[in-house]
Structure 1
Amino acid sequence: MKRETVNAIRTVLEEVIPPFLRDSGAMRWLFRRHWGPLVDDIERFRERIPFVTAEEYRSIYERMPRVQDETDNSEACLKRIVDAIEGETVLDVGCGTGYLLDWLKQRRPALKLTGTDFIIEEGTRSRHPEIRFVEGHVERLPFDDNAFDTVICTHVLEHILEFRTALAELRRVAAKRLIIVVPQEREYRFTFNPHLHFFPYPHSFLRYVTPIPEGHVIESVGRDIFYFEDVG
């Protein structure tokens, strides 16, 4: 389903259903009917995250079914991203299957695009031979300082335990602009995803990214938070 549909469902779950019901045994039963024991495993994963091994981390993500079609970004966020790009060289951190990079290539063919993720499937490279892909972790990006005019990171930081380490790396490799998108989301005991950080309001996200440069923009876009800052 599209991101817009997912966000509509999240609005009902997070804003309409009261917390005492959202965390109740009845709601857990309903979630289990659809997701099975994965619901319990994701809850334990978040509870134990400071102690989770790399193998456990990888296992939970390998078991997660894909809910959204092709991209986690809504059409509105995609349009804001392409309009906010500065310069000619762009890095997409957490590029997944390369959907965002391909979307940008079609609209800005002059851009020099690079994608990085901790796993790059061979099919991703073969589908997008004109885009460079490099395996790497957001907490230790395999690029020089100021290597890219614009660095994009969408729907990644909510998954990263060492948030500030990852943010420092994003800022390090960005020469002009850093663009971030995260879900605008409330935390409950069990949910559809293994997110570690939750941002119910834009100012909730700003607390994580201090110090904040004067040249920044933040706004709610549907059920997502769109943020960019000038780093050069």
Structure 2
Amino acid sequence: MINKDSNSMYLHSVWLSDVEFPPLIESVRQRFTEEYESRFGAGQTKGLYKRDDWARISFCYERVAQIGGSILDIGVGPGGLLNILGLDERFDRVTGIDIRHYSKLVKMKDDLDIRIMDVGEMSFADNSFDTLVCMEVLEHIEKPHFLRALSELRRVAAKQIFMTIPLREPEPLPPYHKLRFDFGDVVEHFPDGEFYILEPERGVPWLAIIEDIGDPASITQRSQPAAGVAARPSPGMSTSPEGETLATSTPAPSDKIASSPKSV
């Protein structure tokens, strides 16, 4: 939530080590790891999720499952979230898109609907899916593409968009990341979002952004935390009386979205 009068934002803090996995996710996690290692080898870690990744997926799943219906997973990658959604009967239509076929995709259902498509140029009609999930995608694209992608996400979603981005990533960025996000960027580009800072055991935190589309009264309220989640203040941030983390979003000149350094 953004307080536009004071140019500040409230963040719900979630420590991923506190996230417990519901039975469906624990089952998929075990099956996914077994199949991945049998196909690609136990020493091949690229594409194999760490515990923090499963916790982030679980945090997302617990929220989007409250809406059910139709859902689009943008940036399928190895397929962890898409498999979970496809096995949950609360979703009557599950589709995934990615910019290209991922070589280490694991499919637990033969009929998973996966399409090759660009998030900035989706071929779906307006309001095609109740929920869109776009985790760890937006930081990989250049700013003009990012702005088109945001427009497309809001066009295709009927009820809710769930996004994650790395927050305040140290510079220089890795070559596969094209954008850096600070609090000022979040206020500018996601003014209507609800925010959760997802703290990993180590490394850069993720910011989860949830946008409600249309009539908020028609959308299931997210008043209860996910199972096993305990909110704790993030380091260096103050906490409001309601238990939310307060961060001033006024950016320094260097805190605007920055393109990654060009390779020499």
* Same fold, TM-score > 0.5, yes or no: yes
**Structure with more strand by fraction:** 2
Segments ≥4 residues shifted beyond 6 Å? none
1:229 to 191, 203, 211: 211
Q: Does structure 2 conserve the Cα–Cα contact (< 8 Å) formed by 1:125 and 1:133?
A: no
**Structure 1, gaps ≥5 residues long:** 6-64
CA change 1:181–1:87 in 2 (3 A) is same
In structure 1, C-alpha distance between the alignment counterparts of 2:206 and 2:178, rounded to whole Å: 16
Q: 2:31 maps to what in 1?
A: none
Shift of 1:118: 1.3
- Of 99, 105, 124, the residue aligned with 2:80 is 99
Cα distance in 1 for residues equivalent to 2:106 and 2:54: 24
> Separation in 2 of the partners of 1:96 and 1:71?
14
Structure 2: 5+ residue stretches without partners: 1-15, 18-43, 200-204, 215-264
Partner of 2:57: 78
Cα–Cα, structure 1 residues 123 and 181, in superposed 2: closer, same or farther, change >3 Å?
closer
1:56 is aligned to none
How far 1:145 moved relative to its partner?
Answer: 0.8
Question: What's the CA shift for 1:142?
Answer: 1.7
Decide whether the 8 Å contact of 2:74 with 2:132 is kept in 1: yes
* Residues 112-154 of structure 1: CA deviation (Å, up to 9, x unaligned): 2100011125874865323211110011012111110000000
Larger CA deviation: 66-75 vs 125-134: 66-75
For residue 74 of structure 1, report the CA deviation from its aligned partner. 2.6
Aligned to 1:219: 196
Q: Is the aligned partner of 1:141 residue 2:118? A: no
Cα distance change of structure 1 residues 88 and 157 upon mapping to structure 2, 3 Å threshold: same
For 1:61-103, what per-residue CA distance to the aligned partner results, in whole angstroms no more than 9, with x for missing partners? Answer: xxxx975624796333222211221231110111122221112
- Compare the two structures and name the one with the higher helix fraction: 1
- CA-based RMSD: 2.8
Identify the structure with bigger relative contact order (alpha carbons < 8 Å, sequence gap 6+): 2
Shift in CA distance, 229/126, structure 1 to aligned 2, threshold 3 Å = closer
Query: Partners in 1 of 2:128 and 2:83 — Cα distance?
Result: 20
| Residue of structure 2 aligned with 1:90, choices 50, 71, 83 | 71
Structure 1 residues 25-44: Cα deviation after superposition (integer angstroms, max 9, x where no partner)? xxxxxxxxxxxxxxxxxxxx
The separation in 2 between residues aligned to 1:123 and 1:81, in whole angstroms, is: 22
Instruction: State the distance in 2 between where 1:125 and 1:142 align.
Output: 25
Aligned residue pairs total: 163
Q: Which residue matches 1:171?
A: 154
Aligned residue number for residue 197 of structure 1 = 179
C-alpha spacing 1:152/1:110, structure 2 compared with 1 (3 Å): same
Assess if the C-alpha contact under 8 Å between 2:138 and 2:146 holds in 1. Answer: yes
TM-score scaled to structure 2, two decimals? 0.54
Q: Distance between the aligned counterparts of 1:124 and 1:73, measured in 2? A: 19
Letter in 2 for 1:220: I
The equivalent position to 1:110 in structure 2, one of 90, 99, 122, is: 90
| Partner SS, residue 91 of structure 1 | strand
Distance 1:204 1:72, change over 3 A: farther
> Match of 1:230, as an amino acid?
D
Amino acid at match of 2:139: E
TM-score scaled by structure 1? 0.61
For residue 208 of structure 1, report the CA deviation from its aligned partner: 2.3
Go from structure 1 to structure 2 and tell me whether the alpha carbon gap of 1:176 and 1:103 turns closer, same or farther (over 3 Å shift). same
Determine whether 1:188 maps to 2:171: yes
Percent identity of equivalent pairs: 26
